[in-house]
């Protein structure tokens, strides 16, 4: 498999740094904490860690409001400690990916402070400033993804500035060549320190309509949805010019060897595919979020897999995501009894999988009392289900109360105790053990990494597909229902099953029983 790039062979493990491991007792995870747990990640079998933002920030949006792109926030550590983490990870054979947040900065970033200081400042055009409408109101109807208008009035200079998210997160003007050069310098700063790639935040939002036209109303809007869903984002997302920026980022990374560019892009499949670039010169992997909101039904998932794979350009490498810091945890979405099936699905589909910390032990969404809510998305639009705190609760390392081995202090969010690494690591029947077995299976079977995917189908609650390479053919069968079912085969042997005692057992010619919630991988 050596001809594949590392990110095509590998498995990515996402760390939300505030919640992974606290080393100094302040209740917030940090870089030394991550470094201390890298051995756990290598033992799990992952190949790379992606670390959510760790830059200096006022933390209005917990690091996605960047005040300095070329340093580390003191709550996470120092630049020297980051370098130590990278070096340690590389010694262990792990790659390190950083979150890159180029769409907006903090309003406390020196660039914005200069930009808002006067209309004549050279950095004024680094952000999106507009005169008010004739009635004195916002320039157009664009809405913030955090609620309310996307325009904030600046009394001192008599103009509005645009913010797709919080007012503390003004959007950069990516039509300005100086902005592009400055952000290219940011990429180089971290690449020079050994970073192996970037996940680019809200990549599809970087360019806005040059004419600042009103977004049209959304005829499918339903009451109770986030406010910005009232409008179609026709002029505030996925503009044609964004692809030039993606190509430029990719070219910069290419100068440093085998680096990876991953884009956060929430778009329908057809539009998502354009981010690979017409000649494979776009993002290496536009994140595929199809599984995050899919109905957990065999027929629906089969159709989703077929549609995604058939849409891939010839030069494109697929990828799959089951959980992240912005969506409810998989065990809460589909139920703990199906978490094992989900693990087999994620780690046997064709393409690069991304694991979200804690999903490997079946962490569920945490209970966040009203007085413990921290997420601005929930504080600004309460009651509509936008709060992301539940999926960001601290990693549950052990069963100690009240902090689960995460911190010796008061955790920034409540820690769950229903399960932990310690209770699962020596249990051969645990979900953690299943993840380790699956990752080992990937390493030992080329069909699961470089093989094709074929015969994707569903019968009742059972989803099946095959992974094939050279003479090896693997059947994957997943019972996504709550009743026993059957799967047909032409004989073979079970390499891995979520049902205890079935590994190594023969798969009969004809009909085979599949227990409720069972998933298996068989050589056929």
User: Could you say which of 402, 434, 466 is where a domain stops?
Assistant: 434
* Residue 353 predicted with pLDDT over 80: yes
* Residue 501 predicted with pLDDT over 70: yes
The span from the CA of 457 to the CA of 487, in Å, is 11
* Residue 90 predicted with pLDDT over 60: yes
Please report whether residue 44 resides in a domain: yes
Strands (E), 311-357: 319-321, 352-356
* Percent of the chain topping pLDDT 70: 99
Q: Per residue in 203-246, pLDDT tens?
A: 999 999 999 999 999 999 999 899 999 999 999 999 999 999 99
Please report whether residue 444 resides in a domain: no
Nearest to 204 by CA among 180, 183, 174, 160: 174
- List the strands of the sheet with 462-469, edge to edge: 452-459, 462-469, 472-479, 519-523, 485-497, 506-514
pLDDT band at 381 (very low <50, low <70, confident <90, very high): confident
What local confidence, expressed as pLDDT, does residue 238 receive? 98
Asked if 38 and 154 sit in the same domain, the reply is no
Q: Strand, coil or helix: what is 249?
A: helix
Asked if 137 and 182 sit in the same domain, the reply is no
Asked if 430 and 462 sit in the same domain, the reply is no
The number of domains in the chain is: 3
What local confidence, expressed as pLDDT, does residue 83 receive? 98
Average pLDDT over residues 393-419: 94
Please report whether residue 168 resides in a domain: no
- The catalytically annotated residue of 168, 171, 201, 264 is 201
pLDDT band at 382 (very low <50, low <70, confident <90, very high): confident
Q: Is the distance from CB of 128 to CB of 142 less than 8 angstroms? A: no
| Domain that includes residue 157, residue range | 110-162
Average pLDDT over residues 334-338: 94
Please report whether residue 169 resides in a domain: no
Catalytic status, residue 255:
yes
Asked if 89 and 119 sit in the same domain, the reply is no
* Residue 34 predicted with pLDDT over 80: yes
What local confidence, expressed as pLDDT, does residue 402 receive? 86
Please report whether residue 440 resides in a domain: no
Asked if 255 and 115 sit in the same domain, the reply is no
Tally of residues, the chain: 524
Average pLDDT over residues 195-209: 98
Catalytic status, residue 201:
yes
Asked if 98 and 154 sit in the same domain, the reply is no
Report the predicted TM-score, pTM, of the whole model to 2 decimal places: 0.97
* Residue 386 predicted with pLDDT over 80: no
The span from the CA of 466 to the CA of 474, in Å, is 5
Cis peptide before 402 (omega within 30 of 0): yes
Q: Strand, coil or helix: what is 488?
A: strand
Any idea what the CATH number is for the domain that residue 31 is in? 3.20.20.80
Asked if 305 and 184 sit in the same domain, the reply is yes
The span from the CA of 105 to the CA of 127, in Å, is 10
What local confidence, expressed as pLDDT, does residue 96 receive? 99
- The catalytically annotated residue of 131, 244, 255, 427 is 255
Asked if 271 and 417 sit in the same domain, the reply is yes
User: Could you say which of 118, 140, 162 is where a domain stops?
Assistant: 162
Question: Which neighbouring-strand residues pair with 320?
Answer: 353
Please report whether residue 72 resides in a domain: yes
Asked if 461 and 344 sit in the same domain, the reply is no
Asked if 427 and 459 sit in the same domain, the reply is no
Any idea what the CATH number is for the domain that residue 151 is in? 3.90.400.10
Q: Which tokens go with 369? A: 């009392």
Any idea what the CATH number is for the domain that residue 476 is in? 2.60.40.1180
* Residue 468 predicted with pLDDT over 60: yes
CA 423 to chain centre: 27
Average pLDDT over residues 95-123: 98
The mean pLDDT value of the chain amounts to 97
Asked if 266 and 392 sit in the same domain, the reply is yes
Asked if 392 and 294 sit in the same domain, the reply is yes
Average pLDDT over residues 164-185: 98
pLDDT band at 2 (very low <50, low <70, confident <90, very high): low
Nearest to 435 by CA among 493, 361, 363, 494: 361
Residue showing tokens 């050596």: 2
Average pLDDT over residues 469-496: 97
Average pLDDT over residues 101-117: 98
């Amino acid at each position: 498999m050596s001809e594949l790039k590392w990110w095509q062979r590998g498995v990515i493990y996402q760390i939300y740094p505030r919640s992974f491991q606290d080393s100094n007792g302040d209740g917030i995870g940090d870089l030394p904490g991550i470094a201390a747990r890298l051995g756990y990640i290598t033992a799990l079998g992952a190949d790379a860690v992606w670390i959510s933002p760790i830059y200096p920030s006022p933390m209005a949006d917990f690091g996605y409001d960047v005040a300095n792109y070329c340093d580390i926030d003191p709550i996470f550590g120092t630049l020297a400690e980051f370098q130590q983490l990278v070096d340690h990870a590389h010694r262990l054979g792990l790659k390190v990916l950083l979150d890159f947040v180029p769409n907006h900065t903090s309003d406390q970033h020196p660039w914005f402070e200069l930009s808002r200081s006067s209309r004549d400042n050279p950095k004024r055009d680094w952000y999106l400033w507009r005169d008010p409408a004739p009635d004195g109101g916002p320039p157009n109807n664009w809405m913030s993804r955090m609620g309310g208008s996307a325009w904030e009035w600046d009394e001192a200079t008599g103009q509005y500035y645009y913010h797709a998210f919080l007012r503390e997160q003004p959007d950069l003007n990516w039509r300005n060549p100086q902005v592009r050069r400055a952000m290219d310098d940011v990429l180089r700063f971290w690449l020079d320190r050994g970073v192996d790639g970037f996940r680019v935040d809200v990549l599809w939002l970087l360019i806005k309509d040059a004419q600042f036209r009103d977004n049209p109303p959304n005829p499918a809007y339903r009451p109770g949805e986030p406010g910005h869903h009232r409008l179609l984002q026709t002029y505030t997302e996925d503009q044609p010019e964004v692809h030039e920026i993606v190509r430029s980022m990719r070219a910069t990374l290419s100068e440093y060897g085998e680096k990876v560019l991953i884009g956060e892009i929430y778009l329908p499949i057809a539009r998502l595919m354009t981010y690979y670039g017409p000649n494979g010169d776009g993002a290496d992997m536009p994140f595929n979020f199809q599984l995050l909101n899919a109905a957990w039904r065999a027929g629906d998932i089969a159709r989703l897999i077929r549609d995604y794979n058939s849409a891939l350009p010839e030069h494109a490498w697929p990828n799959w995501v089951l959980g992240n810091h912005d969506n409810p945890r998989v065990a809460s979405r589909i139920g703990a009894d199906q978490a094992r099936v989900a693990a087999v699905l994620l780690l046997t589909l064709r393409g690069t999988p991304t694991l979200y910390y804690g999903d490997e032990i079946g962490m569920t969404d945490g209970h966040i009392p009203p007085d413990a809510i921290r997420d601005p998305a929930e504080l600004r639009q309460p009651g509509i289900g936008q709060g992301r705190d539940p999926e960001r609760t601290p990693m549950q390392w052990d069963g100690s109360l009240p902090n689960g081995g995460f911190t010796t202090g008061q955790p920034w969010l409540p820690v769950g105790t229903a399960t932990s690494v310690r209770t699962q690591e020596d249990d051969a029947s645990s979900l953690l053990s299943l993840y380790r077995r699956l990752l080992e299976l990937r390493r030992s079977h080329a069909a699961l990494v470089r093989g094709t995917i074929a015969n994707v189908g569903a019968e009742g609650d059972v989803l099946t597909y095959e992974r094939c390479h050279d003479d090896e053919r693997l059947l994957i069968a997943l019972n996504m229902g709550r009743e026993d079912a059957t799967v047909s085969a032409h004989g073979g042997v079970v390499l891995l099953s979520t049902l205890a005692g079935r590994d190594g057992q023969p798969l009969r010619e004809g009909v085979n029983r599949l227990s409720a919630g069972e998933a298996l991988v068989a050589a056929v």
